[in-house]
Structure 1
Amino acid sequence: MDIGVLLPTGTAQWGPADDPRELITFGRQAEDLGYSSLFVNDSLISPRIEALTMLAALAPATAGVRLGTAALLPFLRRPVQAAQTLASIDLLSGGRLTVAVGAGFPGRFGRPLYALSELPWERRFARLDETVALWRAVWAGATSFQGEILRFAEIPPMTRPFRAGGPPVWLGGATPAALARTGRMYDGWLPYPPEAADYASGLRQVRQAAADARREAGDITPALFVTVRIDDDADSGGKALDAYARATYGMPLEELRTIQAVVTGTAEQVAERLAQYAAAGARHIVARLAALDLRSQRDQLERLAHVIPVLGRPERQDP
């Protein structure tokens, strides 16, 4: 079991006196505490440190921790340019990059971003899959690419990533189509289902799609994105989570719980809930800490670190 943490790169997670340069120290602290990965979120509309800039800064500042996106929105960037940037980060980090991707969602997380990126909203999933195929091709040395949407007759030599074939690419999402696409072509799955039973059901579908595509189940990393708040009791944790949900999403905790994995309570209660996802098959947890300033983020980071040994060897159940 790998336990990673999402860095608080958005201004909604900073206090008035916080310095965003502290995020480098935060990443080092997480590595020292035993976290196995540092992930960053991606957006264009909400104010935050740009995802790939953050990872490039973390690459030389950390030693062995994995660096990842949760999730990168490829449509915000030119596909060939993104391939070059990702290969560079993988190279600078010594092969520690993992790229989880998504196509965006309707509402303020979807159509407006496509409009600002000067891309059509239609066929966004096909565009995403083809972008990933392009990345893999140029990382392997391709000098041209002929897809259905993306076509490049001539691609000059590019930076090659640290690892042959480039960094692993995971897919976020839990719709039937996303599960099938994960099984067919992605290296990992990073959803956030509200219940462990939903995770187990989705993972079964991913593995069936992999088998249908003649891939091994072990080729796909089953990961989980989950919002975590450890407190003295469930009541105080719930109040803090509600404040976080309203500040981050503009919605109450009650509503957020229906669409995302959210865990709160004492350290023992949080460990018990996360263990349910581990029993359902999750093998890499990416925890988003529910706190609204960097001091509280560091406090949650230390509290969750005490849970890591408990989850290190989960009881395995076939999901």
Structure 2
Amino acid sequence: MTRDVDLGVVALLTGDQWKGAEPQELVRLVRTVEDLGFDSLWANDSLFGPRLEALTFLTAAATVTERITLGTAALLPALRRPVQTAQALASLDLVSHGRLIVGVGAGFPGASEREYALSQVPWRRRFDRLDDTVALWRQLWAGEGPGEFHSATISLAGLPDSIAPATPGGPPVWLAGDTPKARTRAGTRYDGWLPYPPTPKQYEAGLDEVLAAAQGTGRAKGAVIPGLFVTVLITDAPDCGREALERFTKATYGYPLRIIEQIQTFATGSAEQVATALAGYIDAGARHLVCRIAALTLGDYHDQLNQLRQVREAIA
């Protein structure tokens, strides 16, 4: 894209959306995303509801694509054993020839506590645990550290050698979080920032904090990629799709739209309106837009993909 902006889409992975679908539909979905010219394909992560598991899906996607970046938006490391996850991510980066971005988060308050309990991981100190887990991954990926790792939340000895990822030092890890502390951590410890603030003004202010934190620790310019997670719905409905978004947010979070739109980014309406909304975030500094399509069926998803392609061309 001429404005040096990448635009990707989040795949449709929940069981209800895939009910009755043939395995070939998975291949068709992935190939369509690449063939339409999108820059990246992302998988979300949860224990709730039957769904295609994120890393399994991305591994399958790696085998039928050649160009697009593959990412998690966002992986919840607390749901998995950290050493095994380091091996799985290194393997996925290797299989995809270095096309992996690992977006990580600590969960959604009010929803993820149950996921932590099912994973036998305490909710308390979840942010420290997230940072420590990523530090452990990087030590394993580098293949140069000692055979032990000790931090505030993780203490392991006898660490095995990890398979070497295609990307030297391991795939880039982006932080999905937008509190003041998260912005500081993104700037000082992570390779990218993936928030979803409801206005471009809030995004710009947050990005300033991220970049200031990065500069304050001596990191090189461009060390942190400014991403944006945005829910997109292209529609000519008079209400700009609010009724459809209401169904989507309740199905996804169990909360009404009026609550979710206070904390998350939405771009809805006609293709022109969506393009204008996304352009506002690009002007605020976003450089990789991760678009979650507000569709609940595969048919609607494919229709939205084709329309989103026109939006991509409009903001190029």
Scaled to the shorter chain, the TM-score interval is: over 0.9
Q: Does 1:67 align with 2:70?
A: yes
Deviation track 1:243-280 (CA, whole Å, cap 9, x = no partner) reads: 22222223332222112111111111100000000000
1:216: Cα distance to partner? Answer: 2.5
Return structure 1 stretches of 4+ with deviation > 3 angstroms.
Answer: 15-21
SS at structure 1 position matched to 2:111: helix
Whether 2:207 is the aligned partner of 1:228: answer no
For 2:59, which of 56, 63, 69 is the aligned residue?
Answer: 56
2:174 aligned to which of 165, 170, 173: 170
Specify the code of the residue in structure 2 equivalent to 1:67.
Answer: L
- The gaps in structure 2 that reach 5 residues or longer are none
Contact 2:45 2:76 in 1 (8 A): yes
Distance 1:184 1:299, change over 3 A: same
TM-score normalised to structure 1 length: 0.93
Post-superposition offset of 1:16: 5.2
Aligned partner (choices 76, 79, 86) of residue 83 of structure 1: 86
Counterpart for residue 22 of structure 1 = 25
Residue 282 of structure 1: aligned partner = 286
Q: Which runs of 5+ in 1 are unaligned?
A: 313-319
Change (3 A) 1:234 1:209: farther
- 1:272-305 deviation line (CA, Å, top 9, x unaligned): 0000000000000000111111011000000001
Report the equivalent of 1:159.
Answer: 163
2:122 is matched with: 120
Question: Cα 1:234–1:144, aligned 2, differ >3 Å: closer, same or farther?
Answer: farther
In structure 2, the residue matched to 1:198 is 202
2 CA distance for matches of 1:11 and 1:194? 29
Percent of pairs identical after alignment?
52
**Distance in structure 2 (CA, Å) of the matches to 1:55 and 1:119:** 25
1:292 is matched with which residue?
Answer: 296
Alignment RMSD = 1.5
Tell me, in whole angstroms, the C-alpha distance in 2 between the residues paired with 1:289 and 1:137. 35
Deviation at 1:236, TM superposition (A): 4.9
- Is 1:211 aligned to residue 215 of structure 2? yes
- 1:86-105 matches, within 5 Å, as 86-105=89-108
Correspondence 1:251-290 to 2 at 5 A: 251-290=255-294
